[in-house]
Structure 1
Amino acid sequence: MATEKIAIHTEYIPLGQFLKLANVIDTGGMVKIFLSEYSVFINGEQDQRRGRKLYVDDVIEIEDIGAFQIVKEQNN
């Protein structure tokens, strides 16, 4: 399975915001429920904290959803 690249323009992004940016969930209100139902692994370690800071090069794997990598947004 291919790893989808998700670009951010800030130093980090909280896990809850990342889930919206990656189109995994539709609204911020869904974060708590989503994290209680799906296992999320960040760089191979399970972490369900919606405020967990994700940085460039972090890899996020979500069971039954897929894998994502945080990349730095390129300025054109």
Structure 2
Amino acid sequence: MKIATDHIKLDSFLKAVDAVASGGEAKIVIADGLVLVNGVVELRRGRKLRPGDRVTLEGEEFVVE
């Protein structure tokens, strides 16, 4: 997904790519350790993502552009 700013927060990114249906669902999957950023479990929903970062949820990978 291409972003218009220099970064996007992890929870917002998950919603933007339709990986989750709501911010509440994003909070849950992140807190449960189901989200990887660049191959590492990320527990902070406010993690700033930048172009080139790779987010994985349930085997599906999304790339920040």
Normalising by structure 2, we get a TM-score of: 0.85
Are 1:70 and 2:51 matched, yes or no? no
Distance in 2, Cα, partners of 1:28 & 1:10: 20
- TM superposition shift of 1:7: 1.0
**Identical-pair percentage:** 35
Aligned length: 65
- Give the aligned partner of residue 14 of structure 1: 9
Normalising by structure 1, we get a TM-score of: 0.74
Between structure 1 and structure 2, the one with the greater Rg is 1
Structure 1 gap segments, 5+ residues each:
1-5, 72-76
Structure 2 gap segments, 5+ residues each:
none
- Which structure 2 residues correspond to residues 33-72 of structure 1 after superposition, within 5 A? 33-37=28-32, 39-64=34-59, 66-71=60-65
Residue 29 of structure 2 aligns to a residue whose secondary structure is helix
